[in-house]
Structure 1
Amino acid sequence: MRPHITPGTIADLHQVLADHHRYWGERDLRSLHLDALVHEFGETWLVARADDGIHGYLIGFTTPDGTGYVHLVATRDDTRGTGLGRRLYATFAAIAHRHGARRLKAITSPGNTGSIAFHRSLGFEATAVEDYSGPGRTRVVFHRPLPFEAAVPGMP
């Protein structure tokens, strides 16, 4: 069954945290999964759900300056490479655009080559920004304009 993407709940967030290793492996990113983001930006906390659980999720929001910011996006270890990450991004982009976003933004660490390749495949431009997350903490910052679907290979 193809997962259905819907806004998530606090219970979904707690399930994702319980299964954290299935999405992030050895990287411990639990501290970035904030209940407040679900409460305050519920429409853009997206969950891809099928009969066997949550296959992936995206936590994002739209900023006052018209940016659809993706805070976290992850797919479960047994669903990678299926296009689910693209579907989550496309769904978020459509919602963010309805909320006035004109562009998308995301960040990652320079060593996260999988994330960098994924975002570039979605048409994002990537720029390394020194001290983005504090002194000595370089991050790769991704930007791309909306609309999303027209420029993404493989999107309907």
Structure 2
Amino acid sequence: MAARIAPAHVTDIQQVLADHSRYWGERDLRDLHLLALVQEFGETCLVARSDDGVLGYLIGFVTPGGTGYVHLIATRDDARGSGLGRDLYGAFAEAARRQGAVRLKAVTSLGNKGSTAFHRSLGFDVRVVEDYNGPGEDRVVFSRAIG
């Protein structure tokens, strides 16, 4: 199941949304799939395609301060454990670097142990930030320099 990583198109994300549970299981994160991000930050929104459709994707952008921010990353259930998430992050880091990013950042909820383990394996610093998303909305924040 060889995947080609390329800039995402809105139609890719629509395909993901139509098959949402294969990427996110029981978690309903459809509201976080902002098509405007794909429209406006196309070079840093990436999709891994095979002949069998979208195997994984990453929605991200570069902030004016030089941070490559990953808003969402997911792999389809049949592509997990293949290194595809790592490959998507690598491709994103390269795209972000071309746009002047010097560091990467991502955020998740406190209970998302899978995301925390994944980001640790990629060398991210992990810290809990109280009220990150408003009062009582603590988040786990991942950060690392682009190496």
Question: TM-score normalized by structure 2?
Answer: 0.98
In 2, distance between residues paired with 1:59 and 1:70? 6
In structure 2, the partner of 1:69 is 69
In structure 1, the partner of 2:124 is 124
In 2, distance between residues paired with 1:42 and 1:54? 16
In structure 1, list runs of 5 or more residues that go unmatched.
148-156
In structure 1, the partner of 2:5 is 5
Instruction: Report how far residue 2 of structure 1 moved.
Output: 1.2
Question: What are the residue-to-residue correspondences of 1:1-156 with 2, within 5 Å?
Answer: 1-147=1-147
Instruction: Report how far residue 35 of structure 1 moved.
Output: 1.2
In 2, distance between residues paired with 1:27 and 1:14? 17
In 1, distance between residues paired with 2:10 and 2:110? 31
Instruction: Report how far residue 101 of structure 1 moved.
Output: 0.3
Instruction: Report how far residue 59 of structure 1 moved.
Output: 0.2
Cα deviation 1:63-110 (Å, max 9, x = unaligned): 000000000000001110000000000000000001000000000011
Identical residues among aligned pairs (%): 69
Alignment coverage as a number of residue pairs: 147
Task: Please provide the CA RMSD for this pair.
Answer: 0.6
In structure 2, list runs of 5 or more residues that go unmatched.
none
The runs of 4+ residues in structure 1 deviating greater than 3 Å are none
The SS at the match of 2:118 is helix
In 1, distance between residues paired with 2:141 and 2:35? 24
Question: TM-score normalized by structure 1?
Answer: 0.93
In 2, distance between residues paired with 1:117 and 1:124? 10
Q: Which amino acid aligns with 1:128?
A: V
In 2, distance between residues paired with 1:83 and 1:106? 18
In structure 2, the partner of 1:152 is none
Cα deviation 1:22-66 (Å, max 9, x = unaligned): 000010110010111011001111000001110000000000000
